[in-house]
Structure 1
Amino acid sequence: MERIRRAVWNGPSPGFPRDGSGSRGRRPRDGISRWAIALVVGLGVLWHYAPIAIGAKPTVLPDYGRVPPFALTNQKGEPVALDALLGHVWIADFIFTRCAGQCPMLTKEMSQLAHAFQSDPSVQFVSFTVDPRYDTPEVLSRYVAASGVSSDRWIFLTGEEEAIQRLSQEGFRLAMGAEGPPEEPITHSSRLVLVDRDGAIRGYYEAADARDLAQLRRDAQRLLRHPS
């Protein structure tokens, strides 16, 4: 009976088979080794690339060319030229007050952007009318009041139809025409345009796309921090 008890006691422990040298299997130790190697490799990669990430320069925004000089009139009847915007980061769009299509959406998004940047006087907002024959300064002034526009850094511009069409198509490279649907008889772009302090166009953003609008905010902040 004692021999049987010793045989049972001296048998290999279940789950831990012995190898040829008499020691137990190395599976747990091998697992720890693999984790240690992975940790060392990971730290090495981090050590190598960390200086690059820390010292990396911000991505440079594309340059789509400069806005050509213009001389228009704002909603107060005051003359406004491109020179008045130089030195400011500004966001532009093209709308008209009788528009029942995408213009209300454009004005809403511009209003939200104006609110987001209300604490930074370096950012200006400019809306060009594509219906200048109807959108006189008086009409634009009423539109501003009806839309609840509160920012004094947001100007609405009107002027000669030919000048605005040329500015839209050749200056901003945005479509503008007169063959739209009944709710929007004048076709125009629904994109917002980001312009830097030197009057260079740095980005186009679809006003109906939330991701584009978020990118616009980031890019505007980038221009405020890094002018180039």
Structure 2
Amino acid sequence: MAGKKIVLAILSIAFGIAVAFMIEIKKMSSAEILPVYGEIPDFNLIDHHGEVINLDKFKGSVWVADFFFTSCAGICPRMTEQMTRVQEAFKDNKKVKLASFTVDPETDSVWVLSMYAKGWGAIDGKWFFVTGEKRNIYELARQGFKLPVEEGDGGPGDFIHSDRFVLVDGKGRIRGYYSGTDPDEVDKLIKDIKIILKER
């Protein structure tokens, strides 16, 4: 009789473990996995403090990039407003950063960007406003971030205007594109950042 009870107890434990295992497998299979669209190459540019900024600054962090210019009166203020939403959602998480690259570096000097950052309440060390050589920025936008913009050589007549926010993971891989003027798309971006933060 005692032997029968032991066997039943073992079977019950084994069944419980099997059920728990199946539930965990189901959770893992239903978890959303974001695609990988490519890798960001390294770059050497200047942030709004006048310091060199490169890919190492974002290593191990989930980050969002956009391309704008401070004198833009159209979509840029709306994009920057949406970036402040992303900053607010992750203001206490040091693993989330933002980078806004100017497409008009001749106008957007370090001082201009620093004033712009201050005006929008950018958190120091979290949200970087980036300038540098125009050709380098434009090559990074087209070849690095793979933004859907017209071809150009980064010369005086070349100009990029994109409303895209680009989501990049801690390994420098592009994981998503979102309209920076659409609050619903930015809601999805915030959700996707949380998904990547859970990745191992």
TM-score, scaled to structure 2? 0.80
1:176 touches 1:188 (CA, 8 Å); kept in 2? no
Q: Which residue of 2 aligns with 1:16?
A: none
Deviation sequence 1:163-184 (CA, Å, 0-9, x none) = 0000001111112689xxxxxx
1:54–1:76 CA distance, 2 compared to 1 (3 A): closer
How far residue 142 of structure 1 moved from its aligned partner, in angstroms, is: 1.2
1:60–1:54 CA distance, 2 compared to 1 (3 A): closer
CA distance in 2, matches of 1:73, 1:117: 24
CA distance in 1, matches of 2:28, 2:72: 48
How far residue 146 of structure 1 moved from its aligned partner, in angstroms, is: 2.3
Residue 106 (str. 1) matches residue 99 (str. 2): no
Deviation sequence 1:24-76 (CA, Å, 0-9, x none) = xxxxxxxxxxxxxxxxxxxxxxx9xx846445352221101101110000001
1:90 touches 1:196 (CA, 8 Å); kept in 2? yes
1:193 touches 1:205 (CA, 8 Å); kept in 2? yes
Deviation sequence 1:107-151 (CA, Å, 0-9, x none) = 111011101101111001000000011111111011112223345
2:102 touches 2:130 (CA, 8 Å); kept in 1? yes
2:60 to 83, 87, 100: 87
Residue 72 (str. 1) matches residue 27 (str. 2): no
CA distance in 2, matches of 1:150, 1:125: 10
Structure with higher Rg: it is 1
Q: Which runs of 5+ in 2 are unaligned?
A: 1-18, 153-157
SS in 2 for 1:56: helix
1:177–1:223 CA distance, 2 compared to 1 (3 A): same
CA distance in 2, matches of 1:54, 1:199: 27
1:205 to 163, 172, 178: 178
TM-score, scaled to structure 1? 0.70
1:115 to 85, 88, 92: 88
Q: Which residue of 1 aligns with 2:12?
A: none
1:161 to 102, 120, 134: 134
1:132 touches 1:159 (CA, 8 Å); kept in 2? yes
SS in 1 for 2:122: coil
1:69 touches 1:82 (CA, 8 Å); kept in 2? yes
Q: Which residue of 1 aligns with 2:11?
A: none
Identical pairs, percent: 40
1:91 touches 1:126 (CA, 8 Å); kept in 2? yes
**2:181 counterpart letter in structure 1:** A
1:177 touches 1:186 (CA, 8 Å); kept in 2? no
CA distance in 2, matches of 1:79, 1:57: 42
Runs (4+) of structure 1 exceeding 3 A deviation are 50-55
- Larger displacement relative to structure 2 (148-157 or 96-105): 148-157
SS in 1 for 2:87: helix
Q: Which runs of 5+ in 1 are unaligned?
A: 1-46, 179-184
> What is the count of residue pairs matched by the alignment?
173
SS in 1 for 2:136: helix
